[in-house]
Each structure stands twice: as C-alpha cells, then as structure tokens.
Structure 1
Amino acid sequence: MSIRSLFSSPRPAPVPRGRPAPRRRARGWTFAPLLVALSLATACSSSPGGGALPGGPELMKKSAETMRSVRTVAFTIATEGRPPVPVRHAEGSLTSEGDAQGTIQVEVLGALQELAFVLTGDTVYFKGPTGGYQTMTREQLSAIYDPSAILDPAKGVPGLLAGATGAKTEAEEKIGGADAYRVAVHLPKQMVTTLVPGVNQEVDGQVWVDKATSRLVKASLPLGGEANAGTVLVTLDDYDVPVTITAPAK
C-alpha cells in the first residue's frame, strides 16, 4: 500500500444501473448544535458550584422555619436614593424576647433626627445627641419604628418569608464572605411594614438566604417611584451571639 493511499478517501463502489444510490448516514457533528443548546440550558439553571439551584418556595419555607428559632441578631437598615419612608438608617441588636438596643435616624420635616434607644420590657429609653434618656411606651415607639418586631414569629422576618409569593432562586452569591442564594420575591405590604415602617405598597424585591444555615442575611426592597424612589437594604448577622440589654442609668 502506498503512502498516498493512507491519506486518500476510498472511492465509493459503483452503483448498479436501475438501483437507487444508498442514503448516507448523518454524521455525528450534525447533532452538535443540539448538544450545545442542552448544555447552555443546564448551565443557566445551575449554581456556580455546578449544582442545580434550589427552588424558591422551598427556600422561603425552610428559611421561615429557621428564623423562628433565632435567639439574637444584629441588624442594619440603610437606604439608597429617596424611598418614601421616614427611617433612613438604623442599627443595633435585639433578642427574641423583644428587647433591643441601637440607634435610629428618622427624617422629620426634611431634617434627620438621630436617637439612641434601649427597649426592655414595655419601656423604651431614648435620647438625642444631647441630654439624658427619656422614656416612652413600646406602643408609642411602634408608630416610628419597633425593631424588636423583626424576630416576631408571626409578623416579623419569619412571617415575611412565609408570606412571600412568586419566589424564584436567581443565583448563588457571596454575602459577608458566606455563600447565599439570591431569591426574587413578591412581598405583601403588611409584612414589609414590620421591617420598614411607612411602606404603603407591595414590594417586588430580593432576599438572600445563607446556603449553610438557611437564615436570612439580606433583603433589598425597592420602593416608591419617580422623584421619591429608592431602595431599603436590610442586613442581619451575628446570629445567636450573646446579648445583654439593660435599662440605662438615668
């Protein structure tokens, strides 16, 4: 056999007259576009780690159950833009018993008022930049903002997650150095008001659920429209870290 014959294609055998030529079988490469399309479809429904993303409703249910067992948490509420809510910033720590302490910035007639607060029992201690502590009832504070409701099993974060509809897991992301699932959700107005007072609309937002613990670590809530539009960002961390909250000295 010659070298040329090794690299040349064999000639097809002659077809006898009166008999149709045999059909050639489709080559394997004709299925390549289909395989590529299937690969892309699989990649679009998978997490960066290669596994499929969990369903949104299942994540919300599991996170709601997990949040009901939380004993303490640190929280931060911040705003971007001009969302139509009076609270501009708040941060502090709270317990499942309803005690809390921290600071809050509230916009009053276009000016920011910052208050330090301590909630113990039915009494709220608060003070401005100068002077000592004054007191009000928890009911009076709730007209402004009651952060202790965040862990309330019915109307706090557990109820917010349980009442979310249209949940769809969008991606896996890093939040505070930990892996979390980002989930698009539709939230009822009465539930959002617990986290952010003054909300008078339903919200299509996003929540991030910690992959390892199923705890809520972040929520993004777009509010308002046109000139009065913005986003409220809620972050939760330091779960179950011991917290001691006592009445301040007068």
Structure 2
Amino acid sequence: MSSSRARFTGLLTVVLAIVLTAGCSGGGGSGDRPPGGPLLQQAANVLRGVTSLSFTLRTSGDPDITVKSVDAKLLKNGNSQGSVQVTELGMPIQLDFVVIGKTAHFKGLTGGWQQEPLSKVAGIYDPSAILDPDRGLVQLLLTAKNAETKGEDKVAGQDCHRVHATLARAALSRLVPGMDADAPADIWVSAADKHVLKSEVEVPSKNGGKPGKVTITFADFGKPFPISAPAK
C-alpha cells in the first residue's frame, strides 16, 4: 500500500470514528434525556409551590373506575369548583360542585344547590386532595416506580419530556377514584419549568378486554381563581 493511500485510509478511519461517536451521543439523542426518576422529583418540588391550577380528566375505552370526567379549578387551600361525571349503579350522574373549606356544595342537572360535609362526599370525589402535598399530585410523583424518560413531545405548545412510570394506587386513587391497583402511565413534564402538563394512565377494562385509558391535563398554574360558595 502506498504511503498516500495509507494516510487516506487512516484519515477515513478517524472520520468514521468521529461520525459514529457523534451519532451515539449527539445533542438530540437519548443520551441527553434527563433520567425519569430525578425529573419526576423536580416536577414534585415545583408542584409544592403551585398555588392553583385547572385540570381536566377524560376516559376512553371502558375503564373499571367510577369517575368518567372532571373539569375543575383548584386552589392550594383546598377550595375548588367544577363539574364531575360519575357512574352510580350503572347510571351516569353529572354534578356541579364547589368546595369551600370543609363543606361541599353540589347540584345535579335538576334542582338547586345542596351541601354536605366534605368528609361525606370525599369517597365519590375529593378535589381538595389534589394540591395537598401529602396526599395528591406531589405524592403521586414521589411514589412513582421504574420511571424512564421515553421521548420528547409537545403538549399545549410546550416542549415536554415523556416519562413512563408505574403509579402507586394509594396516591393515584385520590386523583382517579376507583383505582384498586398500581397502574402504568405516561407523564409529560415541561422541559422549561418542570410543570406536569399531562398524564395518560392505563386502567383495566370492566369486562377484561383491552385496557381503558384516563387522560388528565393540567393548566393555568398560579392563576388566581375567584372561588366562593354558590348563592342559595
């Protein structure tokens, strides 16, 4: 082999090594993704400082849970307002609710507002738990297991890391009533401010078929919602 050909072969080897190394660890590759566990820890720490948010819950398929949909605005002090649809004895029930302190105000599609101690209706749905750092979303993130960052997506126009994890039943059932076991889920965490913007939870089907899904979205972080007891 001539000296010029040997130099060319050596140079080609160096170039290929550089290209392959860049392809394995470049700026957009999986090597730059933050690990799932610490990312959920960061999101939990951010949630501790959240004073208010809004969220929606929707189900698809036939998940074996009582709640079917929720639209709510929440304050960290536990006050909240919104609507919830649940299933009782196989029948859908739509309720508007306002929670002020330890009192829950609610009304159905007909009739006026009624009220009960929050403790009496918490088994159906307790929105006051969601921003409670000892019971709600914070604990849901801190107790998640086997968290792994799987990719990057956009949610509501924001760049997010998608983390797959197993959510513990105790914390998850406060957000999704009726859960009786741990469940796999994808969680989207904003890359910029580490807010949790979305979660999709896999839920067993009532009839043992294809699992259903619960999709929860979060928005309006820190918005000063004016929540007061409804007029009688």
TM-score normalised according to structure 2 size: 0.89
Distance in 1, matches of 2:121 and 2:210, equals 25
Distance in 1, matches of 2:35 and 2:118, equals 38
- Say whether the 8 Å CA contact 1:84–1:228 is kept in structure 2: no
Distance in 2, matches of 1:56 and 1:42, equals 18
Distance in 2, matches of 1:193 and 1:33, equals 53
> Which residue of 2 is the match for residue 17 of structure 1?
none
Paired residue for 2:112, among 123, 129, 132?
132
Distance in 2, matches of 1:184 and 1:55, equals 11
> Which residue of 1 is the match for residue 95 of structure 2?
115
Q: Does 1:245 align with 2:227?
A: yes
> Which residue of 2 is the match for residue 232 of structure 1?
214
Distance in 2, matches of 1:230 and 1:42, equals 37
Report the RMSD for the aligned CA atoms in angstroms: 2.3
> Which residue of 2 is the match for residue 212 of structure 1?
192
| Per-residue Cα deviation, 1:46-74 (whole angstroms, up to 9, x for no partner) | 26xxx811121211111111101110100
Distance in 2, matches of 1:41 and 1:151, equals 40
SS of aligned partner of 1:65: helix
- Say whether the 8 Å CA contact 1:186–1:205 is kept in structure 2: yes
Paired residue for 2:48, among 48, 57, 68?
68
What residue ranges of structure 2 are gaps of 5+ in the alignment?
none
Identity value in percent = 35
Distance in 1, matches of 2:230 and 2:148, equals 45
221-230 or 193-202, which deviates more: 221-230
Q: Does 1:179 align with 2:179?
A: no
Distance in 2, matches of 1:238 and 1:27, equals 58
> Which residue of 2 is the match for residue 196 of structure 1?
176
> Which residue of 2 is the match for residue 54 of structure 1?
34
> Which residue of 1 is the match for residue 25 of structure 2?
42
SS of aligned partner of 2:32: coil
| Per-residue Cα deviation, 1:38-96 (whole angstroms, up to 9, x for no partner) | 4443259726xxx8111212111111111011101001011111111110000110100
- Say whether the 8 Å CA contact 1:83–1:228 is kept in structure 2: no
Q: Does 1:91 align with 2:71?
A: yes
| Per-residue Cα deviation, 1:222-249 (whole angstroms, up to 9, x for no partner) | 0104337201111110011111111111
CA separation of 1:162/1:45 partners in 2, compared to 1, >3 Å: closer, same or farther? Answer: farther
Between the two proteins, the alignment pairs up a number of residues equal to 227
> Which residue of 2 is the match for residue 7 of structure 1?
none
Larger radius of gyration: 1
Shift of 1:119: 0.3
